[in-house]
Chains A and B, each alone.
Chain A
Amino acid sequence: MPKINPFIVFILKRLGIMVLSFFVASTIMFLLPRIIPGNPLAVKVYQILQQSASNPEMIKSVEKMLMDYFKLDRPLYEQYFDFLINLLHGDLGKSITYFPRTVNEIVAMYLPWTLALLVPAIIASWIVGNYVGVIAAMNRGKAVDKVLLPLLAALQGTPAYVFGMYLVLLAVATKWFPASGAYSPTAIPSLSWSFIVDYLHHYILPFLSIFLTSLGGWGLSMRNIAIQELSMDYMDYARVIGISPRKTQSYLFRLSALPQIVGLAIVLGWSVAGSIITEIIFAYPGIGTALWSAIQAQDYMLIQGYFVILIGTILLANFISEIIFAVVDPRVRYAYAGE
């Protein structure tokens, strides 16, 4: 048997699972609206045609686009084949409500706002959560831990959007922060100083709600990992040879942060899907709010497009995290090396 680099075998296997998952997800997306009794897709396309645009010229072009894209008059397998080909080409079709703009254009318009909110909030909560987790682990069973543990559990159990709701209520009551949007209605997005200040002012509450709720998860998992590390012999050794608690804590932080890096990649991938509702609550102009309006407007093309993008992001993040895991974890690395 020819020897193939085991690392490549591993990557290929994970890639296979990823492709399979994407295939399954898109097949479900394709099949569901078509096989449910009464063919809701056809009904909806017809409804949309009637409501979508006021001028008759546009109705015609939307109709033509929908027929071209869905090909509902053709056999199912042909529709399916076309659907897959379109997906592989990255062609998600054109929006109905924003006709004739493509779904890709609209996603590109909203995605930066979502990323600007999520990435800093999650990275900040990762850093702080890990720190808090180590502190809780170092003081396991003591007063600090007894306060932190239920607090972290409560934060983790509270969905980010519930937190968001409370923060908005607080903002309305105190008038400290604007309660919705990413910037004042009168402001025009630009890189001017005044816009940035306005943006940051709006940014604080949604940031806090995502930051605080993901803090719980990071803190708890870090506490678990750190407690395991603490039970290792080398930690006793560090204490015995008189390394200061502050230094031990920093070793512990570094040791336990490794598995957390993998978690970070996964969470970043999931966060776009996970913060849909938070965005809706804050009327923050990101993917989540856009998906909500697409669902309200029954813009089928957009809904389908968002789903493809969200699932794609998650699959990719998962894949990347697995690669990081294999590279970072010495045990996995040694397994590849042979001995």
Chain B
Amino acid sequence: MSTILEVKNLAKIYEIGYIRKRQIVAVDKVSFSVKKGEIISLVGESGSGKTTTARMILRLIKPTSGVIKFMGRDIWRDLRGGSDLRWYWRNVNGVFQDPFSSFNPTHRIRDFMYRAFNLFNEKLDRDTKERLVREALQMVGLIPDEVLNRRPFELSGGMRQRVMIARIFLIRPMLVIADEPTSMIDATLRLGILRLFSKLREEIGTTIMFITHDMGLAYYISDRIMVMYRGKIIEEGTPDEIVNNPKHEYTRNLLDSIPKLYTSWFK
């Protein structure tokens, strides 16, 4: 399998304090790569730097130093102008944790979905756009007529997260960064959301990077797991390697904290 994303010595240092500056190292020289078609998880507690890493890969936060290469192009140096950026986001996109704040409260679901057509190079007529949006919503088990004219606050959290994934089905990127996509959803609905990600990989061949604090989830879904702690990746391996033979004490703690019930849910 070929590498599509390569991260080298990525670091993000925040300076805080208005008058006397203090440095906080959020991400500390992280390096890894992602291969085409795999599902990889970045596991860590909150404050470990995993979300910052995700945002840097999505090109929403500028790194302090280091390189992120997608398809051989350095995304912070080689991409210039609107069309390069649209190309990047067409190929690398994201699903966020909070299905409540990820929607503009004044927009309808149709507006939300249609906005993604910005990323498309091809000029589509209105009918084609409508058809593509409806197909994408159906892919995630939503009935287009029931949601298209609704505003986000008229939908449940689970439905909103499905709309977010429908957006990914519409864009059909090569790589999806999913930042805690299930953590704010009722436990009973999580499995359904996770199945959509599997479907994404099966039907479109999307590479998926999960960002999560939940080792159980990572174990269940991933081909490969990276454990992040205090801004550094401290351990990397297949789920079985990590679970059966954790090398780092922090990983052991994470494993201990998995509720025993968890595994039985999925089997």
Contacts and interface: CB of A to CB of B under 8 A. Distances in A.
A touches B (Cβ under 8 A): yes
Interface of A: 6, 9-10, 335-336, 338-339
Nearest to A10: B19
A336 B20 CA distance: 7
7 contacts: A6-B19, A6-B20, A9-B19, A10-B19, A335-B17, A335-B18, A335-B19
**Max chain A Cβ within 10 angstroms of own Cβ: one of B17, B18, B19, B20:** B19
Interface of B: 17-20
Contacts of B20: 6, 335, 338-339
Given A9-B19, A338-B20, A339-B20, 8 more contacts: A6-B19, A6-B20, A10-B19, A335-B17, A335-B18, A335-B19, A335-B20, A336-B19
A86 B87 CA distance: 61
A222 B221 CA distance: 57
Contacts of B19: 6, 9-10, 335-336
A9 B20 CA distance: 11
Nearest to A9: B19
Nearest to A336: B19
Nearest to B19: A6
Contacts of B18: 335
Contacts of A10: 19
A335 B18 CA distance: 7
B13 to A, nearest CB: 17
B16 to A, nearest CB: 11
Nearest to B18: A335
- Interface of B (DSSP majority class): loop
Nearest to A3: B20
B131 to A, nearest CB: 53
Contacts of A6: 19-20
The 3 closest A-B pairs by CB, nearest first: A6-B19, A338-B20, A335-B19
Nearest to A7: B19
Contacts of B17: 335
Nearest to B20: A338
A339 B19 CA distance: 10
A9 B18 CA distance: 12
B266 to A, nearest CB: 44
A336 B17 CA distance: 10
A10 B19 CA distance: 9
A338 B18 CA distance: 10
A3 to B, nearest CB: 9
A9 B19 CA distance: 9
Nearest to A6: B19
Nearest to A335: B19
B22 to A, nearest CB: 9
Contacts of A9: 19
A339 B20 CA distance: 8
A147 to B, nearest CB: 37
A252 to B, nearest CB: 29
A335 B17 CA distance: 8
A6 B19 CA distance: 6
B15 to A, nearest CB: 13
Contacts of A335: 17-20
A6 to B, nearest CB: 4
A289 to B, nearest CB: 45
A203 B78 CA distance: 74
Contacts of A336: 19
A77 B20 CA distance: 43
A286 to B, nearest CB: 41
A9 B21 CA distance: 14
A338 B17 CA distance: 9
A324 B18 CA distance: 18
Nearest to B17: A335
A336 to B, nearest CB: 6
A6 B17 CA distance: 12
A203 B18 CA distance: 48
A4 to B, nearest CB: 11
A74 B20 CA distance: 51
A6 B18 CA distance: 10
A339 B17 CA distance: 9
A12 to B, nearest CB: 13
A156 B209 CA distance: 58
A6 B20 CA distance: 8
B91 to A, nearest CB: 41
A277 to B, nearest CB: 40
A150 to B, nearest CB: 32
A335 B16 CA distance: 11
A336 B18 CA distance: 9
A128 to B, nearest CB: 36
A335 B19 CA distance: 6
A209 to B, nearest CB: 42
A337 to B, nearest CB: 8
A44 to B, nearest CB: 49
B245 to A, nearest CB: 43
